[in-house]
Amino acid sequence: MRLDWLEDILAVLDTGSFARAAEARNLTQSAFTRRIRSIEDGIGTPLFDRSRKPVQLLAAVRAHEDEMRRMAADLRALRDGLRRSAAGAGRTVALACQHAITTTVSPRLVQILARDRAVRVRSGNRDDCLGQLITGEVDIAVIYDSTHGPPRPDSRAFEEVSIGTEPLVAVCAPALAPLSGTSPLPVITYPGDVFLGRVVERAVFSRLPPGTELDRKAETALTLAACQYALDGIGIAWLPLSVVHDPLSQGRLVRLPQDGPDHMLDLRMIRLAEPIRHAALECWDALRAALPRQ
């Protein structure tokens, strides 16, 4: 299916007639009618009910409207991407960011990079981000790190730099705050096989007062989901401060004593030591120049 065929068909659907569709496609009505005939010949079946005035798509064809629109959008994106690649020698850069970083930090990174290139951002857990970096699916990964977190692959394979730190804070809805010193303690947890799951277990839960029991109300790998559970009063959640800055300032969440001075996350930007595309190296240097380094 060709893009111009889809655009002609959708033009009739959007305008309601061959005459208005022809105008929208900058063609005479007779030329547009001939194009519709050639489309039907190419597909091998009629697409329009010509017994009705104005001409309308057959019901069986109209049922594929959503599919045709998606396909047209995908083909336009592919066409535009190929044009950009040919004109810009592959200046698109791909970033992989942990879920929380995607919403809080990546907008600043994209703002820096998008001035003269296209930026593709992928979101995943920490291991996914590093895996995409190793396999070459992305050029740069931006992740949290912590001495309490799981080990990473051999650091000799990477070039990395710290671009900031932020605390991991304990928060809950105001109504739940009086329970913060009780046992069992109502908590929202992360799976043990994800980065924040390891950090919270080792840096927080293992250091609670002796005899403290945990009432594990909910478990999620997504920080935004954990934030919403805390807002809903389900339990106490441990989240990067940037994720909960707004609800804290609005009084919808409160900080609790369970966040300690050593619960600090390091924000790290990582790339492969070599090889690396020239465009990706340009982006790395641009980010290093624009962002604070620790």
- Answer yes or no: do 233 and 98 share one domain: no
Quote the percentage of the chain above a pLDDT of 70.
Answer: 91
Asked if 197 and 60 sit in the same domain, the reply is: no
- pLDDT higher than threshold 70 for residue 97: yes
Mean pLDDT of 4-20: 88
Residues 61 and 179 in one domain: no
Instruction: Based on the fold, state whether residues 147 and 277 are members of the same structural domain.
Output: yes
Output the domain CATH number for residue 135. Answer: 3.40.190.10
Q: Do 33 and 111 reside in the same domain of the chain?
A: no
Residue ending a domain, among 87, 104, 135, is: 87
| pLDDT: which is higher, 76 or 253 | 253
**In the predicted model, is pLDDT for residue 90 greater than 60?**
no
Q: How far apart are CA 27 and CA 5, in angstroms?
A: 14
How far from chain centre, in Å, is Cα 56?
39
**pLDDT attached to residue 277:** 78
d(CA 109, CA 217): 35
Among candidate residues 51, 72, 87, the one where a domain is terminated:
87
How many domains, the chain?
3
User: How many angstroms separate the CA atoms of 292 and 197, rounded?
Assistant: 28
Same domain, 124 and 195: no
Q: For residue 152, what pLDDT is reported? A: 66
In this structure, are 148 and 278 located in the same domain? Answer: yes
- Rounded Cα distance, 197 and 79, in Å: 42
Query: Nearest-CA neighbor of 257 among 177, 167, 200, 165?
Result: 177
pLDDT score for 234: 96
| Banded pLDDT at 276 (limits 50, 70, 90) | confident
- Residue with token string 């989240």: 239
How many degrees, rounded to 5, is the angle at CA 126 between CA 121 and CA 128?
65
* Domain range enclosing 261: 166-265
How far is 206 from 260, CA to CA, in rounded Å? 13
Q: How confident is the model at residue 81 (pLDDT cuts 50, 70, 90)?
A: low
Contact 84, 92 (CB under 8 A): yes
Q: pLDDT at position 182, please?
A: 79
- Rounded to whole angstroms, the Cα distance separating 278 from 82 reads 19
As a whole number, mean pLDDT of residues 245-262 equals: 85
Q: What is the largest CA-CA distance in the chain?
A: 85
* Amino acid 83: pLDDT: 64
How far is the C-alpha of 237 from the C-alpha of 76, rounded, in Å?
43
Please tell me the number of Cα atoms within 13 Å of 207 on its side-chain side.
Answer: 13
How far is residue 227's CA from residue 109's CA, in Å, rounded to a whole number?
A: 23
CATH code for the domain of 60: 1.10.10.10
Residues 157 and 285 grouped into a single domain? yes
SS3 assignment, position 56: strand
Look at residues 87, 102, 121 and tell me which one is the last residue of a structural domain.
Answer: 87
Residue 293 confidence (pLDDT): 60
pLDDT at 294 over 90: no
- Cα–Cα distance list, 211 to 17, 168, 181, 257 (Å): 75, 23, 12, 17
Residue 208 burial by Cβ neighbours in a 10 Å radius (0-12, 13-18, 19+): middle
Q: Are residues 62 and 110 in the same domain?
A: no
Averaged over 32-37, what is the pLDDT? 88
Query: What pLDDT score does 84 carry?
Result: 58
DSSP secondary structure letter of residue 164: E
- Residues 180 and 257 sit within 8 Å (Cβ to Cβ): yes
Q: What tens digit of pLDDT does each residue of 206-230 get?
A: 888 888 899 999 999 999 999 999 9
Q: What is the pTM of this model?
A: 0.65
Q: Over the chain, what is the mean pLDDT?
A: 86
The per-residue pLDDT for range 131-164, each reduced to its tens digit, is: 888 888 889 999 999 888 777 666 677 888 888 8
According to DSSP, residue 236 is labeled B
> Which of 168, 136, 128 has the alpha carbon at shortest distance from 261?
168
Q: Are residues 285 and 146 in the same domain?
A: yes
pLDDT score recorded for residue 169:
93
Is residue 63 located within the same domain as residue 199?
no
Say what the pLDDT of residue 245 is.
93
